[in-house]
Amino acid sequence: MSNHSQLYTLGAFLLGIGLTVAYQQQLFRPGYDRRSRRRKIHQDISRLSKTDDIESLKKNLTDIVESLEREAGSIKEGIEGCIGNTPLIKIKSLSDATGCEILAKAEFLNGAGNSPKDRVALGIIQLAEERGLLVPHSGDTVYEGTVGSTGISLAAICRARGYKAHICMPDDMAIEKSDLLQKLGAEVERVRPAPIVDQNQFVNLARTRATEHTKNPDKPGRGLFADQFETEANWLAHFAGTGPEIYEQTGGSLNAFVSGAGTGGTISGVALYLKPKLPDIKIVLADPPGSGLFNRVKYGVMFDPKEREGTRRRHQVDTIIEGIGINRVTHNFEVGRELVDDAIRVTDDQALAMAKWLVEHDGIFVGSSSAVNCVAATKLAKQLGPGHRIVTLLCDSGARHLSKFWASTEPVGGSEDDVSLEEIINS
């Protein structure tokens, strides 16, 4: 075979691989401009057939394969490219025990900060960039008040895009979260838990720090307050990402979606996307101890007047669950609240027992909010009866909760006298 035809055979082989990858990675999924991509591939191939020079043939082939791979999604554009499109996992033990299919979106596999907050952090930063509020490598700094996950996502994405991150968080959150933030190069302020009326409450402090930065002529760049509780970018990230992904992954066949709420962005965004498409779907809140959202959903009165003014002291130590549960009105919960059909309370003990159950039966090692979600999904399965399909979220890994939540669990071992699922949800 001549050099030329050898190269052609190689080219065809590589193109075949490229096209297979492209197909597997759903390059040609609905919405993708299939026709113009095909036209481009045909142009590239006909350009190849007119080239005699071996070096330019090689280069052309490499270019085509690389571009196919990139477009097929096998090469991601930086860490931001690893956000979204998380797998939907069937939790076998819970499904077998309830007769319902209990599916969980593996949000801990988001690639930057390893939680659903990656979607939100990226949305907030992209929106600020579009509005000219953030300029890379100018000293611009993103400030946020967070119990941890949003801060970790922001810190990672800020690094990737040339910004700094300054995170204010309550000092009773698991220490590994602030350690991780520091390793990501974020400035971390751990403050005493305080009610929202207190200017030193972690969210208020972050807002103040952002303003101080912008006003300070000695500091380079500006301060941007990310404002996850109130910004539209939060629920929109789930409306544009998590919701459509769940719909596609289930083929639109699901009976219920169960989620805890911290800011409320996840449950609202997903509900706003799914409800118009599936009017019969049940959107169910999973709520931990100390949170007012359960009553807000069930009876429309989350707050007594004292709470509305934010005067009630609710310290995070009310519960060992982190990331979900709140006692004040946030835009991100309110924007979808009317679509939330029901709420299920979950105790700390139920969450602890569920976390241990998931490791022992499924090898799934998750944090506290994920365990709450799974307890609520199981309770809902029992209410609905066999034959239903319920989707929930696995938000973050247990590795982020070793010193607090996981430090309180019973030893994992799978011994025979272990509690049953029935005992867990009825405890």
Interface residues toward ligand PLP, by CB under 6 A: 115, 117, 147, 149-150, 260-266, 323-324, 367, 369, 395-396
CB nearer ligand PLP, residue 45 or residue 127: 127
Instruction: Tell me how far, at minimum, the Cβ of 234 lies from ligand PLP, in Å.
Output: 7
Inter-CA distances, 61 with 1, 49, 50, 185, Å = 18, 11, 13, 41
CB nearer ligand PLP, residue 68 or residue 395: 395
CB nearer ligand PLP, residue 91 or residue 147: 147
Closest residue to ligand PLP using C-beta atoms: 323
Q: Which are the contacts of 333, defined by CB distance < 8 A and separation ≥ 6?
A: 261, 263, 264, 267, 268, 293, 296, 326
Separation between Cα atoms, residue 149 and residue 115, nearest integer Å? 7
Rounded (to 5) percent helix, strand, coil in the chain:
50, 10, 35
Q: Running DSSP on this structure, what letter comes out for residue 366?
A: B
**Which long-range CB contacts under 8 A does 381-387 form with residues at least 24 apart?**
381/94, 381/98, 381/99, 381/100, 381/102, 382/98, 382/425, 384/100, 384/255, 384/256, 384/282, 385/99, 385/100, 386/98, 386/99, 386/100, 387/99, 387/100
CB nearer ligand PLP, residue 18 or residue 241: 241
372 exposure class (CB count in 10 Å sphere: 0-12, 13-18, 19+) = buried
Q: Running DSSP on this structure, what letter comes out for residue 397?
A: B
Separation between Cα atoms, residue 423 and residue 369, nearest integer Å? 20
- Read off the tokens for 368: 């506290």
CB nearer ligand PLP, residue 60 or residue 373: 373
CB nearer ligand PLP, residue 366 or residue 424: 366
Instruction: Tell me how far, at minimum, the Cβ of 261 lies from ligand PLP, in Å.
Output: 4
Instruction: Tell me how far, at minimum, the Cβ of 198 lies from ligand PLP, in Å.
Output: 20
Q: Which are the contacts of 78, defined by CB distance < 8 A and separation ≥ 6?
A: 160
Instruction: Tell me how far, at minimum, the Cβ of 212 lies from ligand PLP, in Å.
Output: 24
Q: Residue 255 in contact with residue 282, Cβ under 8 Å? A: yes
CB nearer ligand PLP, residue 149 or residue 204: 149
Angle at 308 between CA 303 and CA 310, to 5 degrees: 115
Angle at 382 between CA 245 and CA 421, to 5 degrees: 95
Instruction: Tell me how far, at minimum, the Cβ of 7 lies from ligand PLP, in Å.
Output: 52
Instruction: Tell me how far, at minimum, the Cβ of 118 lies from ligand PLP, in Å.
Output: 11
Instruction: Tell me how far, at minimum, the Cβ of 384 lies from ligand PLP, in Å.
Output: 23
Instruction: Tell me how far, at minimum, the Cβ of 417 lies from ligand PLP, in Å.
Output: 31
Instruction: Tell me how far, at minimum, the Cβ of 393 lies from ligand PLP, in Å.
Output: 7
Separation between Cα atoms, residue 399 and residue 395, nearest integer Å? 12
CB nearer ligand PLP, residue 18 or residue 264: 264
CB nearer ligand PLP, residue 333 or residue 357: 333
